[in-house]
Amino acid sequence: MMRVSTAALASMAVAMMAFADTAIDEVRTVGATGTVEVSNVKGRVDVAGWDRNEVRVSGTLGNNVERLEFTHEDDDTEVRVVLPKRGRVGETNLVIQIPVGNELVVDCISGSIEVRDIKADVELVTISGSVRVAGITGDVIAKSTSGSVRVENCSGDIEAKSTSGSVRLDNCKGDVEASSVSGSVRSINGSGDIQAESFSGSVEVDGDFGDVEGRSTSGSVHIKTVRETARASSVSGSIEISGVTPREIEGRSNSGSVSYTGGLAPDAKLRARTHSGSVRLNLPADVSARVHAQTFSGGINNNLGGPTAVKLEDGPGKTLDIKLGSGSASIDAQAFSGSVTLSPK
C-alpha cells in the first residue's frame, strides 16, 4: 500500500488554501448622505440600501486577489478589489449594504451588477456582464458592453444602454434614454418622455408616455398609448403606433409597413410614409381631419366614407384628398409601392 507522508499532505493543504476564496465581512460608519464607489475587475457586485449609517461589505475575495481596499473619508466611501501585478485571479463576489441616501457608483470589467432600494442617484457600468436595477428613487445610469440591462420600479431620469444585449425597463417614471446595438429595447408601464433605439433589434414602448421617439435599423418599432407625440422610424422593419388623442404622429419605414390606430387631437398632425410597404390608418369614425393620401404603384382604400381615390394624370399612382368633419387635424399618408388604407377603428 502506498503511503503519503505528513509533509506531502501539508504541502497539498497549503496549495489548496492558496486557491481557496477568502471570506470577507467588514463595516464602516458613514453619513446618511454621501457617495459610495465600488470597483471590481472580475466577479459579481450586489448592492442594497438599508436604514443604517453604515457600509457593510461581505462576500468572498477570489484566489490570488491581493486585498480589499475599503476606505471612508469625509462623504466618500471607496470599495476596491486590488489585484496583483501579474497572475490569474478568481472571481470576487461582493455583497454590499449602504445607507439609502448615499449615491452609488459601480464599475466592473467582467461581472454582473445588481442594485436595489436606494434613494439617490446611481451609475453602474460593466464591460462583460448584466446590469439589473430596481427600486431606485433618483437618476439611473446603467450600461453594459456585453450583457443585458434591466431597470425596474425606478423614479428618476434613466439612461440604459447595451452594446450586445437587450435593454428592458418596467414600471419606471421619468425621462428615459434607452439603446442597444444588437439587442431589443423594451419599456413597459412607464411615464415621462422616452427615446428608444436599436440598430438590429426591435423597439417596443408601452405606457403613459408623453413624447416618444423609437428608432431601429433592421427591426420593428411598436409604440402604444401615446399621449403627446410619437416619432417612429425603421429602415427594414414595420412601424405600429397607437394613441389616445396625440397631437403629433410620424411613422416612416423604408421597406416595412406603417400603421396607426387611435384618435387625434383637434390640431394634430399625422404623417405615415413607406417606400415598399403598406400604410394603414385606423381612426375614429367621427375623426375631424384633412387627408392627403398618395401611392405610386398601389391602391388607396377609403373606408371612412366620402370620395374615392383618383388616378394621377401625370403618372401611374393614385391620390386622395378629402375633408372629414371640420378638418381640424391633418393627415398625410404616402406609399411608393404599397397601398394606403383608411378604416374606422
CA distance 123 to 63: 28
| Three-state SS at 52 | coil
Amino acid, single-letter form, for residue 341: T
pLDDT at 6: 52
C-alpha cell of residue 167: 435593454
* SS3 of 263-331: CCCCCCEEEEEECCCCEEEEECCCCCEEEEEEECCCCEEECCCCCCCEECCCCCCEEEEEEECCCCEEE
CA dihedral for 295, 297, 303, 309, sign (positive or negative): positive
CA distance 280 to 66: 64
| Cβ(184)–Cβ(204) below 8 Å | yes
**DSSP one-letter string for 228-239:** EEEEEEESSS-E
> Any residues with CB less than 8 A from the CB of 31 and at least 6 apart, and which?
53, 75, 99, 102
Q: What is the pLDDT along the chain (345 residues), one digit of tens a residue?
A: 445 555 544 444 444 444 468 999 999 999 999 999 999 999 999 999 999 999 999 999 999 999 999 999 999 999 999 999 888 899 999 999 999 999 999 999 999 999 999 999 999 999 999 999 999 999 999 999 999 999 999 999 999 999 999 999 999 999 999 999 999 999 999 999 999 999 999 999 999 999 999 999 999 999 998 889 999 999 999 999 998 889 999 999 999 999 999 999 999 999 999 999 999 999 999 999 999 999 999 999 999 987 765 665 555 788 999 999 999 999 999 999 999 999 998
Amino acid, single-letter form, for residue 50: W
> Any residues with CB less than 8 A from the CB of 68 and at least 6 apart, and which?
24, 26, 57, 61, 79, 80, 81, 82
pLDDT at 131: 99
| Three-state SS at 332 | strand
What is the pTM assigned to this prediction? 0.90
Q: What is the CA radius of gyration of the chain?
A: 28
> Any residues with CB less than 8 A from the CB of 80 and at least 6 apart, and which?
37, 38, 39, 68, 69, 70
Element (DSSP H or E) covering residue 2: none
**DSSP one-letter string for 157-170:** -EEEEESSS-EEEE
C-alpha cell of residue 300: 388607396
Element (DSSP H or E) covering residue 80: strand 76-82
pLDDT at 87: 80
